[in-house]
Amino acid sequence: MSTFGVRLRAAMARLGPLCVGIDPHPQLLRDWGLTEDVDGLERFAEICVEAFDGRVALIKPQVAFFEPYGSGGIAVLERTIEVLRGSGTLVLADAKRGDIGSTMAAYARAWLTDGPLGSDAVTVSPYLGFGSLAPAFEAAREHGRGVFVLAATSNPEGPQVQAAAAVDGGTVAQAMVDEVAARNRGAEFGSVGVVLGSTLSAAPELVELNGPILLPGVGAQGGGADSVRALLPTHLLSAAVPAASREVLRAGPDISALRAKAEALGDDFAFLQR
């Protein structure tokens, strides 16, 4: 199997750079006329799969919105991942896992191997120390998967940690980016990416990254083509993966409307692949 980074870059070249989220937020369930239970959750996921499967480079289920339904919600998530991956669509599980030792190894086994939740990539938090993520990197390498490391997020609480001074005098966010860059060194295109909020006013230095840059917050949270263009230097635009969830999902539940919204938003970011 080729590496996740290579597969992602090929999917972006073929389908455009957009990542679409599957976020069954309770308000969206209500807006779509669905019940706030496992049946409604499953129908929501089925509609999203039908609308986006094979049409966007990356699909990102938000794990948190499946978990409140217990084992039934996790079963829906398992089926969603299985169907998407079975058809060749890349899946990024937005789980934001982060822990130490055997616990981190268990998270890695859950999301980055061939188990029922096994995805093409997973989001992780490095704020117990970047080294604590080693089990995820090892599982990703062994199984041809990817990892997206939170680096600089756009939530107002983020700078308390991310903008703090690291040991080398730079920011903690920059230290995370530098660690990711070291992981990707020598790769054709790295399988370890970073997560940057698309509405940030400035990004860490990314020149050595050699991997994908996930940019959540497009649309509903105020990010867009202009903010991404302003945030990233021109030579890194081809590594950008803008991510939209509610901005697209508000067009549902009509499948044609969902596809049209995703296509229009993808067109807004066509400049990233030029």
CATH of the domain at 100: 3.20.20.70
Domain span at residue 232 reads: 4-269
Give residue for tokens 């990711």. Answer: 180
Residue 241 within any structural domain of the chain = yes
Cβ-count burial 135-145 (b if 16+ within 10 Å, e if not): bbbebbbebbb
Residue 228 within any structural domain of the chain = yes
Tens-digit pLDDT profile for residues 17-73 = 999 999 999 999 999 999 999 999 999 999 999 999 999 999 999 999 999 999 999
Is the C-alpha dihedral spanning 127, 128, 131, 134 positive or negative?
Answer: negative
**Segments in 24-167 forming alpha helices (H):** 26-31, 38-52, 70-86, 101-112, 134-143, 159-162
pLDDT in the model for residue 1: 72
> Number of folded domains in the chain?
1
160 CB neighbour count, 10 Å cutoff: 9
How does residue 136 score in pLDDT terms, banded at 50, 70 and 90?
Answer: very high
Query: What's the rounded Cα separation, in Å, for the pair 193 and 123?
Result: 9
Active site residues: 96
Residue 216 within any structural domain of the chain = yes
Residue 122 within any structural domain of the chain = yes
Query: What's the rounded Cα separation, in Å, for the pair 187 and 272?
Result: 21
Is the C-alpha dihedral spanning 256, 258, 263, 265 positive or negative?
Answer: positive
Residue 59 within any structural domain of the chain = yes
How does residue 221 score in pLDDT terms, banded at 50, 70 and 90?
Answer: confident
Query: How many Å separate Cα 151 from the centre of its chain?
Result: 13
What angle in degrees, to the nearest 10, is found between the helix axes of 70-86 and 38-52?
10
Query: What's the rounded Cα separation, in Å, for the pair 22 and 246?
Result: 9
Tens-digit pLDDT profile for residues 228-264 = 999 999 999 999 999 999 999 999 999 999 999 999 9
Q: Yes or no: say if 250 and 44 are a contact pair by the CB < 8 Å rule.
A: no
Tens-digit pLDDT profile for residues 144-154 = 999 999 999 99
Q: Percent of the chain at pLDDT above 70?
A: 100
Residue 15 within any structural domain of the chain = yes
pLDDT in the model for residue 219: 87
Residue 274 within any structural domain of the chain = no
274, pLDDT greater than 80:
no
